[in-house]
Structure 1
Amino acid sequence: MLFKSLLNSVQTWEQPLFDAFVTPTMSGETITNDNALTIGAVYACVNIKANAIAKLPLQVFKKTKSGRERENTHQVAYLLEKRPNPYMTPFVFKHTITVHRNLWGKAYIRMVMKGGNVSELVLLDPSKTIEAEDDKGDKWFIYRDKGKEEKFHHTEIIYLPYGPGGKSPIEVARETAGTMKAAQKFLGTFYKNGTTTRGIIKVLGQLNGEAKKKLRASWAEVNSGLDNAHSIAVLDSGMEWMDISMPLKDAEFIASQKFNIAEIARIFNVPLHMLNELDRSTFSNIEHQSMEFIQNTIQPELVAWEEEMNYKLFTTNEQKRFYVKFNLTSALRGDSQSRAQYYKEMLSSGVYNINEVRALEEMDAIEGGDKHRVDLNHISIDIADEYQLAKAGATSKGGENGEE
């Protein structure tokens, strides 16, 4: 009875979901979550964000009295850092989740339990997953594939929606993406029909419909297509070719293409220089924009991952001791000179020791490198006078000749 009412609510709920993606855009093109990736700018934005997140280590930490330390023995650490399931590496796992969130607005991760512990993390195809509530108000996820149906309680699924209400960037960018797809189709037809033979043939007298068809077919056969591009056309006596200007040369057409790319980048919150649009870019602002991309685009998504995983992957007691965290060190690393200056400051202030710096640079530890050191100029203000007198060869209690 419970699932009967559940399935009835699902049928009415899911219909608008499918209807939303079959309505053509103003350009006449239909944009769905699947075919959106055939648009270059959309593919690039999704891939850039997915790569940026997938390359970051997702690690498990244990809280200690002095702070925290890496936890490598917990089952969750193995799943996130070694193998989430038999078919995916951690990189592919994180990459696919990001693609799902950016195209469908949601990612669903099923936690396969064994002996009371999570043994696998399996991704559910968002195009085959729907959400519903039962009579008691509990949330369920229903997965339908190859005629089979599985139902999962919300406690079994790590749910990662994108933005307000799980609205994907594709839903927001449908009109822009439709315009770009129409332009893409236009370009394909343009090159198929020939790049230099766009115009009309003017003849003396009047031709009937059949004669016009034959003339058009004869002209297309000889002059259309890339193989005939830039070839010399031969006109019979009395015929005159009238050229029609091609929109590909129009500044307005080019500007509209650039605007569409910028609009897609804006919706996905990806800097334009990452899409090779460098019209207004300089070396300094590219570096600044890259940092902003990590801080304002990637980090908020990482926080959403961490909060949901910390709640779902650990028991209530474990949550007091363990948590997952993305390591952003590699993403925030600058060039060699910037890193050297950063390490110098961290070493002199005692934040890092030598071996910690070497570990960040993928180098082996050295003997004595675990000690934290500080610059001698950094001392407590309480002993500043005594320290300066000691440097001058005197003591705070002695006079010029060491007399009291």
Structure 2
Amino acid sequence: MASFLDKIFNRKREPAKTERAEMMSTGAPVFTPFSGNAYESDIYRAAVDAIARNAAKLKGKHIIYSKTDNRRQQGDQYLNRILQVRPNPYMTAYELIYKLVTHYYLHNNAFAFLQKDDRGYLQAVYPLTAQNVEFITDAAGQMYCRFLFGNGQQVTLHLSEVFIARRFFNSNDLLGDTNTAILPTLDLAHTQNEGLEQSIKSNATIRGILKYNQVLSPEKLKEEKEAFINDYLTVRNNGGIAAIDSKAEYIPLELKPTAIDDKQLDSVKKKIYEYLGISESIVNSTYTEDEWAAFYESVIEPLAIQFSLEFTDKLFTEREQAFGNSIIFESNRLQFASNASKTNILKELTPLGLLTINQALEILNLPPVEDGDKRLQTLNVVNADKADQYQLGGKQNEQTGTDH
């Protein structure tokens, strides 16, 4: 029975003779997932989740730019369905982008298999979670990616079949750097969590020494201790008072656990957020319109550009790209604007004929209407090509005294 990977990769075989790709940089082009377990940190995970779930709103589109009139036309609908709805039988487009962005921030490298038919048309997109990725070349100089998965299976894909997104793209010519720079902060965050846990446990427990004024056997001492604990050091002792006779003396031990200052907690959290390029308001969804705009421009938009360029290059030949074929990832930024901003935008743009009725309704989160693709324009705005004719016509009317 064919395995899951065999079904996806259709039993792809490695080229007969290969060798590791040689790069100008000193680092070997081999990827191994970051072993620092950054995703185990609740702060780091929440921050990555905030980026991934917002980036997953991006909508991939195949478009064709017309060189004659500089207009943008809708491309292949089948390709758009793969990019926007169902990239593969096992996940939605939202889930695909979410996973790729999560890998991007956890490992600084994200990989996906672009499954194509014999004519080179895209059939599906599968995100790849590999234990090891090695870049190799064949005798003709063609580059491949050799993936080793957790179950021990290995597959080699031509570079044109692999989507790659890189972060901290510096020391290696083909891969992003690791997240070792944030490890000390993640360790500190883990230490803080453990310190808080121990502090809570210490404060919730009464500790002391029960001193007996007579010699008792070890078994008897243990029995007396258990009895004292059950009688006085449990939640059933509502009064909080212990009554003992002269045979024993209870000496409480005052433990003063070191409390972690709120500023220290905020400092660690801030370092993680700054490392990922976001603010706390984005993570807890309390952002203002300006904060969202800054987040979009600094985090989401760079991702959209990177995804757009990589998909365009891997899905279209140079000739197809020369004829205007490209993939873009975009979202309606105005969906996150305030109602006041939306109203002002509509007041300014609609009279100029820049928006159709349905486009204006979409900005307001309202459903489209029939015949809503019309553009409305105020008569106070004249076509630039007819401005001179309009002005000259007015002067002629004044000279002849006619009224039109």
What's the TM-score once normalised by structure 1's chain length?
0.75
Gap change, CA 1:134 and 1:254, over 3 Å in 2: same
Q: Which residue of 2 aligns with 1:24?
A: none
Matches within 5 A, 1:49-198: 49-64=51-66, 65-66=68-69, 67-73=71-77, 75-116=78-119, 117-126=121-130, 128-134=131-137, 138-145=142-149, 146-165=151-170, 166-167=175-176, 170-191=179-200, 193-197=201-205
Residue 254 (structure 1) shift: 1.9
Q: Tell me, yes or no, if the aligned pair for 1:131 and 1:139 is still in contact at 8 Å.
A: no
Q: Which residue of 2 aligns with 1:258?
A: 266
Q: Which residue of 1 aligns with 2:47?
A: 45
Work out which of the residue numbers 307, 317, 321 in structure 2 matches 1:305.
307
Gaps of 5+ in 2: 1-14
Residue 379 (structure 1) shift: 6.3
Gaps of 5+ in 1: 22-30
1:23-67 per-residue CA deviation (whole Å, 9 max, x = no partner) reads xxxxxxxx32xxx22322111111000011111211111222331
Q: Which amino acid aligns with 2:377?
A: R
Q: Which residue of 1 aligns with 2:279?
A: 271
1:262-308 per-residue CA deviation (whole Å, 9 max, x = no partner) reads 11111111112223498xxxx8xx33221100001111111111111
CA distance in 2, matches of 1:233, 1:3: 82
Matches within 5 A, 1:193-204: 193-197=201-205, 201=209
CA distance in 1, matches of 2:168, 2:294: 19
CA distance in 1, matches of 2:354, 2:168: 36
Percentage of matched positions with identical amino acids = 14
Q: Tell me, yes or no, if the aligned pair for 2:208 and 2:250 is still in contact at 8 Å.
A: no
Q: Which amino acid aligns with 1:345?
A: E
What's the TM-score once normalised by structure 2's chain length?
0.75
Aligned to 1:84, the other structure's residue is in SS state coil
Gap change, CA 1:369 and 1:290, over 3 Å in 2: closer
Q: Which residue of 1 aligns with 2:257?
A: 246
CA distance in 2, matches of 1:228, 1:379: 86
Q: Tell me, yes or no, if the aligned pair for 2:31 and 2:132 is still in contact at 8 Å.
A: no
Aligned to 2:58, the other structure's residue is in SS state coil
CA distance in 1, matches of 2:237, 2:338: 47
Gap change, CA 1:401 and 1:14, over 3 Å in 2: closer
CA distance in 2, matches of 1:118, 1:14: 27
CA distance in 1, matches of 2:334, 2:135: 38
CA distance in 1, matches of 2:159, 2:185: 35
Work out which of the residue numbers 295, 303, 313 in structure 2 matches 1:293.
295
Q: Which amino acid aligns with 1:186?
A: G
CA distance in 1, matches of 2:228, 2:281: 41
Matches within 5 A, 1:325-364: 325-330=328-333, 333-360=336-363, 361-364=365-368
CA distance in 1, matches of 2:62, 2:90: 22
Q: Which amino acid aligns with 2:182?
A: A
Aligned to 2:156, the other structure's residue is in SS state strand
Q: Tell me, yes or no, if the aligned pair for 2:353 and 2:377 is still in contact at 8 Å.
A: yes
Query: Structure 1 residues 330-339 or 218-227, which shifts more?
Result: 218-227
Gap change, CA 1:233 and 1:381, over 3 Å in 2: farther
Runs of 4+ residues over 6 Å off in structure 1: 223-231, 400-403
CA distance in 2, matches of 1:380, 1:336: 32
Q: Tell me, yes or no, if the aligned pair for 1:194 and 1:229 is still in contact at 8 Å.
A: no
Q: Which residue of 2 aligns with 1:398?
A: 398
Aligned to 1:238, the other structure's residue is in SS state strand
- What do you get for the CA RMSD once the two structures are aligned? 4.2
Aligned to 1:304, the other structure's residue is in SS state helix
Structure holding more helix per residue: 1
